């Protein structure tokens, strides 16, 4: 990963005096209150709360995002994204994406090729499509896309083939995107050990994540480090991700994808195990009427972590789905989102029960002050049953509520 970042820096220095350069950004400042039927802290601290913030009130820098874009000769461009987050849990700043992209001119029949080299998000989320991977319709990402922001980044290459319908008087656009990547060998660890979570926190490229405490960590899993490194490379193997997409003008978008990190089983280095993780995901955007849009996504898959002796130490199936409905009128927008999620523990490891079931509801309001500034208010309700809470002498069932008010400035 460091080699990729170094290559991008060298390219930028070489091209610094040529091309067109722009910087966009986002400032998100918010007040928040979290309340639950137990005094449980955030999953980010190593506890089992499902929100980014602890069970208390506070003021936070929800996100400070900076996004550089440079356009150069030969249809080449560079994108570098940095983010900062500051709250009672942590204060961090660093890169989240950095890549070079080539985009060909469309042919007479509408075919276009795009290539990407660097570190970038997989093509999964239909929510995080604003500056610096921020959300447009809500303050928080869904539990599904929050996991994408926490444990996933492609460090590799992507190739996209597009068929643009307008060149042949058709409303239909088609896309096939294929990625080959490394540095995702531990994907699945945090989903396993803290479960699905509702947040707005992207993991920075240099960050490591706190692992929850449970009995097996001091027995069969004693080789596991206290922090998981989501972007480490352990086996020098390449994973793959393929996505197909069909779009009808700006009215309808449907995609379906398959991810497999192709991690070698049974490796553990410097406290990091390889996790063999694969899943199917899909998404739908449908404009029901003017100012009214439906967004839905699903994911289903499994993750396996084995010991050097090829024992199935952790083996889980996981599922997630949500539906979001937004209505915009004048400067106002209201969004509602319903989610269901689960983790099914299929192994026999004692002291590491990762079974989980839950559902969540979000109601979000956004008011546009002007083209760059927004006020947002949001309510989140989440109910979950998680067996591993008993290891911390907590009730397995937990109901949490979160209230947030945010000011966002895009520049």
Cα separation, 313 vs 134, whole angstroms: 36
pLDDT above 80: residue 11:
no
C-alpha torsion sign, points 346, 347, 350, 351: negative
Mean pLDDT of 303-315: 96
Q: Is 220 helix (H, G, I), strand (E, B) or coil?
A: coil
- Going from the C-alpha of 163 to that of each of 65, 175, 245, 254, the distances in angstroms are 32, 6, 10, 15
Q: How confident is the model at residue 134 (pLDDT cuts 50, 70, 90)?
A: very high
With a CB cutoff of 8 Å and minimum separation 6, the contacts of 62 are: 28, 29, 30, 85, 139, 200, 406
CA 305 to chain CA centroid, Å, is: 21
The contacts found for 169-174 with CB under 8 angstroms, 24 or more apart, are 171/248, 171/249, 172/246, 172/247, 172/248, 173/245, 173/246, 173/247, 173/248, 174/244, 174/245, 174/246, 174/247
Could you report the per-residue pLDDT of 223-250, keeping only the tens digit for each? 999 999 999 999 999 999 999 999 999 9
pLDDT for 9 equals: 60
**Contact predicate 108/89, CB 8 Å:** no
Q: Using one digit for the tens of pLDDT, what is the confidence trace for 349-388?
A: 999 999 999 999 999 999 999 999 999 999 999 999 999 9
């Amino acid at each position: 990963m460091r080699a990729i970042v170094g290559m991008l820096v060298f390219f930028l220095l070489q091209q610094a005096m040529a091309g067109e350069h722009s910087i966009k950004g986002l400032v998100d400042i918010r007040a928040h209150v979290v309340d639950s039927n137990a005094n449980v802290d955030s999953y980010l601290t190593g506890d089992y709360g499902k929100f980014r913030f602890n069970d208390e009130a506070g003021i936070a820098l929800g996100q400070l995002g900076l996004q550089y874009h440079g356009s150069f000769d030969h249809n080449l461009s560079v994108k570098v994204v940095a983010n900062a987050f500051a709250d009672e849990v942590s204060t961090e700043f660093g890169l989240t994406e950095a890549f070079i992209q080539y985009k060909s001119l469309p042919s007479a029949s509408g075919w276009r090729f795009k290539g990407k080299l660097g570190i970038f998000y997989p093509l999964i989320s239909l929510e995080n499509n604003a500056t610096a991977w921020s959300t447009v319709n809500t303050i928080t990402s869904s539990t599904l896309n929050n996991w994408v922001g926490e444990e996933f980044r492609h460090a590799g290459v992507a190739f996209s083939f597009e068929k643009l319908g307008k060149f042949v008087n058709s409303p239909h656009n088609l896309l096939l995107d294929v990625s080959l990547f490394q540095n995702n060998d531990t994907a699945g660890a945090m989903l396993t050990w803290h479960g699905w979570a509702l947040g707005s926190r992207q993991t920075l490229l240099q960050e490591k994540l706190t692992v929850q405490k449970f009995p097996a960590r001091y027995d069969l899993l004693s080789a596991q480090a206290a922090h998981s490194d989501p972007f480490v490379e352990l086996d020098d193997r390449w994973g793959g991700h393929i996505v197909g997409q069909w779009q009808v003008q700006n009215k309808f978008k449907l995609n379906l994808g398959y991810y497999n990190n192709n991690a070698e089983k049974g490796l553990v280095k410097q406290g990091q195990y390889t996790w063999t993780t694969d899943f199917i995901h899909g998404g739908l955007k449908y404009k029901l009427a003017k100012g009214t849009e439906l967004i839905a996504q699903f994911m289903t898959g499994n993750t396996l972590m084995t010991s050097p002796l090829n024992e199935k130490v952790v083996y889980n199936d996981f599922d997630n789905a949500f539906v979001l409905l937004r209505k915009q009128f004048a400067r106002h927008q209201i969004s509602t989102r319903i989610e269901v999620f689960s983790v099914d523990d299929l192994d026999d490891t004692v002291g590491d029960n990762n079974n989980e079931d839950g559902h969540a509801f979000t109601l979000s309001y956004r008011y546009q002050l002007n083209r760059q500034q927004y006020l947002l208010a949001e309510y989140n309700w989440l109910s979950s049953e998680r067996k591993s809470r008993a290891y911390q002498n907590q009730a397995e069932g937990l109901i949490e509520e979160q209230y947030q008010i945010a000011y966002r400035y895009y520049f």
